[in-house]
Structure 1
Amino acid sequence: MEDSITFLHSSDWQLGMMRRFLGPDGQARWAQARLDAVMRIGDVAKATGAAFVVVTGDVFEHNQVERQTILRACEALKRIEVPVVLLPGNHDALEPGSLWTSAQWTGHAPSHVVVVTDTKPLEIVPGVEIVGAPWRSRRPLSDPAAPGYAELAPAPPGIKRILLAHGQLTSLSGGMSDVPTIDQAALEAAVADGRLHYVGLGDRHSTTEVTDRIWFSGTQEVTAPEETHPGNVLAVTLGEDSIEVEPHHVGAWHMVEHHAELDDEESIRALEDFFAELPEKERTYVRLAADGSLPLPLLSRLDAMVDAQGEVFASVERWAKFWTVRPAPDAADLDALQLSGPARAAMEELRQALAGGDETAGAALTLMHRLARDAG
């Protein structure tokens, strides 16, 4: 492609992000993985011949991340050998006390890293003009992308102009955004009249093509099971009148949502097979939904299985909102426990409560069954 230039587009690194469903070991591996993905972006830059890298918002999870997070981010950025342009987003806005003005950042940020602090055009490499719309608070009062391009004239001949912006598009928000959204029609008009040649967006964690010249890169590492195409960086090649955008996968973690119907031993075996077949368990989070009713021995087996898999995987979480597995205690199952004295009396009381519709009694019976079985 004649007179073309390639660069990388990434966003939403959210370094310092915590996940409540991860234990200390899993959280440490998770934090390192997000940094490792940043370093792999440097590898992609080298492999594609990218001239620079842009990150369209939410580099950090918030402005009060730990000092260690900032310093480790600076080390990861050193692994990217070309200029890097960072746009403050809603998580790390240019507000009072911003990390971007902290001694940790200003004293350790690599010299080839530029933070967009206003809407003035930047010439990072010859022939390319970058304009950005940094967030100055977590709650803007109007379209957060507009300040970056609304007053621009068409780009001069020979100049490729790239907009960096952060926020949800009106067309994709479904009316659910609680802050002003980005006007897609206005962006498309700015592309059509030559004011912009590429629009790099952040905030949406899944790689999304809006038009051939307007893209969300998505996060470099998955953050939730709902994300459809996370873990990518985009290699964008701009020519005189052409564009090519190629996603490169840099993420290593997986987040899986699984719904199971459980009513017999076969369904339990199917769930065991599901867990067994998942790869890279130490980097996989499973959010498990389940419905059905099981005899107490199978319910105990289910509980033991989920607990054991939680030790093997990064995390296995019962999705409370969609976890409706009910006990179906069989008299023979309970009698087989051969309980006596106070334990027997407690069991009978729980059986009566369950018959009366008390679901907590079912959970207590299941636990009693499991403990008595393990003790035997």
Structure 2
Amino acid sequence: MEDSITFLHSSDWQLGMMRRFLGPDGQARWGQGRLDAVARIGAVATESNAAFVVVTGDVFEHNQVERQTILRACEALKRIPVPVVLLPGNHDALEPGSLWTSSQWQAHAPAHVTVVTDTAPFEVVPGVEIVGAPWRSRRPLSDPAAPGYADLQPAPAGTTRILLVHGQLTSLSGGMSDVPTIDQTALEAAVTDGRVHYVGLGDRHSTTRVTDRIWFSGTQEVTTPEETDPGNVLKVTIGSGITVEPVRVGAWHMVDHKVELYDEESLTALEDWFAELPDKERTYVRLAGDGSLPLPLLSRLDALIDAQGEVFASVERWTKFWTVRPAPDAADLDALQLSGPARAAMEELRQALAGGDEAAGAALSLMHRLARDAG
């Protein structure tokens, strides 16, 4: 292993994924963004003189993705100029009806792309072996990584061996996984005794260092605001030692933002925060809010969120953390140009709000906004 080898490690592309919080336009741009990030991996491969690329599971969102998704994925893979090794994960497992055996994939997959279909080591480039543990169902009965390394002998002298696995580590799952987890101690032992020299993990969407030689690459493009470090590909160089460098390929942002809204100053601060965010067309914002606002300011808030939702990929109130209440001022309501049934409805809503009905407050806010706009 005197000579060094550089390769790229990615995972969890989940091509074909849908996000309910993005409208049709945002969803289309975000879906294309995931493919664009794959193409950028090809550019990183060229810039870093990488010998090959590995993708450790969940290349596709599921086995029934549309034909268009498969064909566009094949086009993106063609833009990676070195061998690519794909590991089936839980989303795209090697189960009956798998897309990996579909006519669309078989007919259009680029020749330099290899799908790992068993646990036999194979040479990806001279001096480098790949061994993987592909998922064969969405619900394995035991540690999904163990088949990849349990029966291995130490790698031959002069050979670098890379293990590709997919799943959650027992140490990181917090006991919340509903499928068997990966034994980190056993993985570390496989590295220590020379059976493998690097373990590429998939399933965790944030780039995560487990040890110097065991890493989750994370997804190539962000999927939820909870992810702490998505949007990277790992540049791995193995020689007498090892270096692992995350390289940014993602272009999207998903942001949680908490606000307290009680007056015009706090609302203006929110407007300024929106104005300062970059890449608005590639940013999803999830707002958590607390406080109370007079009806004119509440109407202004509604208009602000509606308008920003047209500028950003999406802006939405985080329902379970949104408790901004109306604080209707009697003078504001009395000033509305309402008469007849509309005035009677307003008075009924005022009484309901006084009785603690928060839905009545929302209705009053909407009434105020509509009457103001009509005026």
TM-score band, normalised by shorter chain: over 0.9
Which residue does the alignment assign to 2:359? 360
CA offsets 1:247-268 (integer angstroms, 9 cap, x no match): 1100010100000001111110
Which residue does the alignment assign to 1:343? 342
**For residue 340 of structure 1, what is the amino acid of its counterpart?**
S
**For residue 348 of structure 2, what is the amino acid of its counterpart?**
E
Which residue does the alignment assign to 2:134? 134
Secondary structure, in 3 states, of the residue corresponding to 1:318?
Answer: strand
In structure 1, distance between residues paired with 2:15 and 2:339: 56
**For residue 356 of structure 1, what is the amino acid of its counterpart?**
G
State the number of aligned residues.
Answer: 375
In structure 2, distance between residues paired with 1:199 and 1:178: 23
Secondary structure, in 3 states, of the residue corresponding to 1:123?
Answer: strand
Which residue does the alignment assign to 1:286? 285
In structure 1, distance between residues paired with 2:211 and 2:163: 14
2:231 counterpart of 1:254: no
Which residue does the alignment assign to 2:3? 3
In structure 2, distance between residues paired with 1:154 and 1:2: 17
**For residue 311 of structure 1, what is the amino acid of its counterpart?**
E
**For residue 7 of structure 1, what is the amino acid of its counterpart?**
F
**Identity of matched residues, %:** 87
Runs of at least 5 residues in structure 1 that lack an aligned partner in the other structure: none
Superposition deviation, residue 339 in structure 1: 1.6
Which residue does the alignment assign to 2:276? 277
Which residue does the alignment assign to 1:231? 231
Runs of at least 5 residues in structure 2 that lack an aligned partner in the other structure: none
Q: Is contact 2:337–2:371 with CA below 8 Å preserved after alignment?
A: no
Pairwise mapping of residues 1-376 of structure 1 onto structure 2 (< 5 A)? 2-239=2-239, 241-376=240-375
List structure 1 segments (4+ residues) > 3 angstroms apart after TM superposition.
none
**For residue 304 of structure 2, what is the amino acid of its counterpart?**
M
Superposition deviation, residue 338 in structure 1: 3.1
In structure 2, distance between residues paired with 1:32 and 1:327: 40
Secondary structure, in 3 states, of the residue corresponding to 1:258?
Answer: strand
In structure 2, distance between residues paired with 1:156 and 1:131: 14
In structure 2, distance between residues paired with 1:170 and 1:274: 39
In structure 2, distance between residues paired with 1:142 and 1:292: 49
TM-score (norm 1): 0.99
TM-score (norm 2): 0.99
Superposition deviation, residue 185 in structure 1: 0.6
**For residue 348 of structure 1, what is the amino acid of its counterpart?**
E
**For residue 325 of structure 2, what is the amino acid of its counterpart?**
R
In structure 1, distance between residues paired with 2:122 and 2:263: 64
Superposition deviation, residue 2 in structure 1: 4.9
CA offsets 1:161-220 (integer angstroms, 9 cap, x no match): 100000000111111111110000110111111111000000000000000000000000
CA offsets 1:351-376 (integer angstroms, 9 cap, x no match): 00011111110110000000000011
Secondary structure, in 3 states, of the residue corresponding to 2:69?
Answer: helix
Superposition deviation, residue 134 in structure 1: 0.3
Secondary structure, in 3 states, of the residue corresponding to 2:125?
Answer: coil
RMSD, aligned α-carbons: 0.8
In structure 1, distance between residues paired with 2:361 and 2:15: 42
**For residue 341 of structure 2, what is the amino acid of its counterpart?**
P
In structure 2, distance between residues paired with 1:180 and 1:297: 54
In structure 2, distance between residues paired with 1:9 and 1:122: 17
